Amino acid sequence: MPHEPRTSTLGRARLGFESQAEIDTFVATLGRFERGEITSEEWKSFRLVHGMYGQRQDGVQMLRVKIPQGILSADQVRAIADVAESYSRRFAHVTTRQNVQFHFLSPGDIEPAMRRLAAGGLTTREACGNSVRSITACPYSGVSADEPFDVSPYAEALTRHLLRHPLSSTLPRKFKIAFEGCSQDHAVTAIHDLGFRARVLSGRRGFRVLAGGGTGILPTAARELFEFLPASELLDLATAVLRVFHARGDRQNRERNRMKFLIRAVGFESWKSEVLGEFEEVRKTVSAALPFDPEEAPEEAPPDWERPPSASVPAFTERGTTGPGLLPVLSGRSRSFAAFQKTNVRPQRQPGFSTVAVTLPLGDVTASQLHLVAALALSHGDGTVRLTQSQDLLFRWVPDSEVPALFERLEAAGLGLDAADTISDVTSCPGAESCRLAVTHSRGLGRLLHEHLTLRADAAALAPSLQLKVSGCPNGCAQHHIAGIGFQGSVRQLDGRAVPQYFVMTGGEITESETHFAKTVAKVPARRVPQAVERLLELFRHEARPEESPAAFFRRVGAARQKQVLAPLEALTAETAAPEDYVDPGQEGDGAFTVDVKPGECAA
């Protein structure tokens, strides 16, 4: 499809990303596949680029919505709610890449779901497949006290430049880009193919550019490509990098065709030299300018319009959820407003306003809750919400005086949990509930850990900032490689019976200057993982140095010491195994655990 430049409108009033004509093409191509005019492989490549992903269950699909920078208007939130209500399980799943996924859609529902999303300005284009994925950004961009400038307009400009670009859907493998302005790397730029960190040098705006990061097989920290790239050259540099990857990437070995492997094969300096040569060629031939003055990008201002009145507390009605798999728990309540305010409310740099995080266990939010979120964004915020890398929601521009009223309404909807971005706010990928690649039901373990740590507030208080992340396979869609404690699903055999277990990995962390990947310290049966967390927390309590972060502590004490602490949980024989050791948390039914890994189509 030709690249069709479009006028960009940044900020709250921005244009959508949809294309109804593109959905027409999708429907026509589906018809060609059904008539046998194209092969199943050709159809798979096409549908993946349009966000339609096969699940492990026959006859149902996952649909991923591309949400650049995680920004949603109230109308778009309603569109997502309508799709969840009409075509999925009456809830949506927020991913670590600020996207939304729907699971268990019938093939016949994909087109109407796409149409409803497009009516709200949303697209599924290049949400999956060998493409430039949704460009993520710090959810605090524009309101953070320590950012040199708001990166959101630049991230959106790059999104519009690359969306439907001839290179963007014809790459050897997926390609991920992130933007960060804060000193803390909320957007985890260090594990992206391209990461942009905002800088100001001699009064000019620009970015420190990192390249070649990634987790999964061979976790790799991105290396510095530019200490300072002028903001005006952003689009051309990204184009140059994509050109080199498009031309040189490995298209044969799917397991080793991310850009990090290309860089490893040719050497960073050699790769960098190629990029710089292509950069000059792009500047001479197809140079593109930002749609605004690079030194004076549009800035968000406080809402200055008359906002609608807030919904009354009794007005919320929950229809519930339905379908297979783990369904959201709707009784989320904070320990107190004070507890919620401590963990979920953060002052903006603009006096009198706060951001308010909505904690979403497992990243799940129901259709009814989404309709309320849309209404509350209009009445208490700026009419938008942002999705976060920790699978939560963020209201912005909430007047400080209105935070209690917003909290009251969130609690009425089961959205009033505190502890955002703390140890009990567990991150989890979809796992074997729907993913073809997963070994274990990571969502089940995520819920087990969340419930355990919510009940054991004393244990959680030992390291409240510690991040727990659970992935059902090595690909790491939950980003367990950079967790203080990460869990990777696996299996062991015990006298011919399968036991679900997790690699316990500790010490992962991204700091302002370094990237540390978690190291495996034990392999623990799934049902024993909460006890493993408690033992590691106790070790931290007794042996940590003053002011030492949990991740730094685990790196310092090393794997041998931690393995010693976890050995009683790791040990398992047919004689000592309890019935629950053979059960995968989250697994439906009473059947024995079995491993059913299928060929993957694309990772998150």
Q: Which fold has domain 14-127?
A: Sulfite Reductase Hemoprotein; domain 2 (3.90.480)
What percent of the chain has a predicted confidence (pLDDT) above 70? 97
CB under 8 Å to 428, separation ≥6 — which residues? 362, 363, 391, 442, 443, 445, 446, 447, 469, 470, 471, 478
> What pLDDT, in 10s, does the model give residues 21-50?
999 999 999 999 999 999 999 999 999 999
Check pLDDT > 60 for residue 1: no
- What are the domain boundaries of the chain? 14-127, 129-295, 328-412, 427-582
Question: Hey, do 129-295 and 427-582 end up sharing a CATH topology, with the first three levels equal?
Answer: yes
Q: Is 428 left (phi over 0), alpha (psi -120 to 50) or beta?
A: beta
Confidence category of residue 314, pLDDT binned at 50, 70, 90:
confident
Mean pLDDT value across residues 208-221: 95
Inform me whether the pLDDT recorded for 513 exceeds 90: no
DSSP states of 428-479? E--GGGT-SS-SS-HHHHHHHHHHHHHH-HHHHTTSTT--EEEESSTT-TT-
Above 70 in pLDDT, residue 12? no
8 pLDDT higher than 70: no
Tell the CATH superfamily of the 427-582 domain: Sulfite Reductase Hemoprotein, domain 1 (3.30.413.10)
- CATH number of the domain at 328-412, please? 3.90.480.20
d(CA 174, CA 161): 17
- Tens digit of each residue's pLDDT (9 = 90 or more) over 372-404: 999 999 999 999 999 999 999 999 999 999 999
Tell which residue, 467, 423, 516, has the closest CA to residue 191. Answer: 516
pLDDT (tens digit, 9 = 90+) per residue, 423-478? 999 999 999 999 999 999 999 999 999 999 999 999 999 999 999 999 999 999 99
Token digits of residue 579 = 């019935």
- Say which residue, 332 or 134, is predicted with more confidence: 134
pLDDT at 600: 72
Which CATH number is 129-295 given?
3.30.413.10
Bridge partners, residue 364, by sequence: 93
Whether the predicted model's global pTM rises above the 0.85 cut: yes
Give the model's pLDDT for residue 591: 67
User: First-to-last CA distance in the chain?
Assistant: 24
Q: Hey, what are 157's tokens?
A: 């400009």
Assess whether pLDDT exceeds 60 at residue 132: yes
One-letter amino acid at 392 equals: D
- The yes-or-no verdict on residue 273 having pLDDT over 90 is yes
Q: Are 363 and 92 in contact (CB under 8 A)?
A: no
* Contact of 193 with 202, CB cutoff 8 Å: no
